Amino acid sequence: MTRASPLDAPLWLKSSLILIVLAYIAVVILLPLAAVFSEAFASGLPAWIEAISEPDAQAAIKLTLLVAVIAVPLNCVFGVVASWAVAKHDFPGKALLVSLIDLPFSVSPVVSGLVYVLLFGAGGWLGPWLQEHDIQIIFALPGIVLATIFVTFPFVARELIPLMQSQGRDEEEAALSLGATGWQTFRKVTLPNIRWGLLYGVLLTNARAMGEFGAVSVVSGHIRGETNTMPLHIELLYNDYNLAAAFAVASLLAGLALVTLVLKTALEWRHGDAIASRGH
Partner 1 sequence: MTFKRRSAIPGFGLTLGLTLLWLSLIVLIPLTALVLRAATGGWAHFIETAFSERAIAAYRVSFGTALIAAAVNAVFGLLVAFVLVRYRFPGQRLLSALVDLPFALPTAVAGIALTAIYADTGWVGKLLAPYGIRLAYEPQGIVIALIFIGLPFIVRTVEPVLADLGVEAEEAAATLGASRWRTFRSVVLPEILPALITGFALAFARGVGEYGSVIFIAGNMPFKSEIAPLLIVTSLEEFDYAGATGIAIVMLLASLAALLLINWVQHRERVRRGL
Partner 2 sequence: MTIEVQTVSKAFDGHSALKNLSIEIPDGTFVALLGPSGSGKTTLLRIIAGLAYADGGTILFDRENVTNVPVQQRNIGFVFQNYALFRHMTVAENITFGLDVMKRRHRPNRADRTARVDELLELVRLDGLGKRYPAQLSGGQRQRVALARALARKPRFLLLDEPFGALDAKVRQELRGALRNIHDQLGLTSIFVTHDREEAFALADRIAILNDGRIEQYGTADDISGSPATEFVRDFLQ
- Within 3-22, which residues bind partner 2 (CB under 8 A)? 3-7
Residue 142's closest CA among 82, 95, 74? 74
Give Cα 169 to chain centroid, integer Å: 28
Q: How far apart are CA 39 and CA 159, in angstroms?
A: 35
Binder of residue 4, out of partner 1, partner 2, none (CB less than 5 to 8 A by kind): partner 2
CA distance 195 to 209: 20
List C-alpha distances in Å: 266 to 200, 203, 272.
10, 12, 9
Q: What minimum distance in Å lies between the beta carbon of 163 and partner 1?
A: 13
Nearer to partner 2, 5 or 177 (CB): 5
Of residues 40 through 79, those in contact with partner 1 by CB under 8 A are 78
Choosing from 57, 101, 202, 274, the residue that interacts with partner 1 (CB under 8 A) is: 101
Residue 56 interacts with, from partner 1, partner 2, none (CB under 5-8 Å by kind)? none
Measure the CA–CA gap between 54 and 73, rounded to whole angstroms.
29
Q: Which is nearer to partner 1, 55 or 123 (CB)?
A: 123
Restricting to residues 186-215, which ones interact with partner 1 according to CB under 8 A? Answer: 186, 204, 207-208, 210-214
Q: How far is the CB of 165 from partner 2 (least distance, A)?
A: 22
For the segment 154-183, give every residue that binds partner 1 (CB under 8 A).
Answer: 169, 172-173, 176, 181-183
One residue of 48, 139, 150, 200 binding partner 1 per CB under 8 A: 150
User: Residues in contact with partner 1, total (CB under 8 A)?
Assistant: 100
Burial zone of 40 (CB within 10 Å; 0-12 exposed, 13-18 middle, 19+ buried): buried
Instruction: Select the span of 20-28, 50-58, 129-137, 192-200 touching partner 1 (CB under 8 A).
Output: 20-28
SS3 content of the chain, % helix, strand, coil (to 5): 75, 0, 25
Piece in contact with partner 1 (CB under 8 A), picked from 6-14, 51-59, 128-136, 194-202? 6-14
When asked if residue 29 is in the footprint of partner 1 (CB under 8 A), the reply is yes
Residue 2 site contact among partner 2, partner 1, none (CB < 5 to 8 Å, cut-off depends on kind): partner 2
Residues 227, 220: Cα–Cα separation, whole Å? 6
Q: Using the 8-state DSSP alphabet, how is residue 30 labeled?
A: I
Burial of 124 (0-12, 13-18, 19+ CB in 10 A): middle
Min separation Cβ 12 and partner 2, Å? 16
In the chain the beta strands, taken as DSSP E runs, fall at none
Least distance to partner 2 from the beta carbon of 10, Å? 11
Torsion, CA 270, CA 271, CA 276, CA 280, rounded to 10: -50
State the residues that interact with partner 2 by CB under 8 A: 1-7
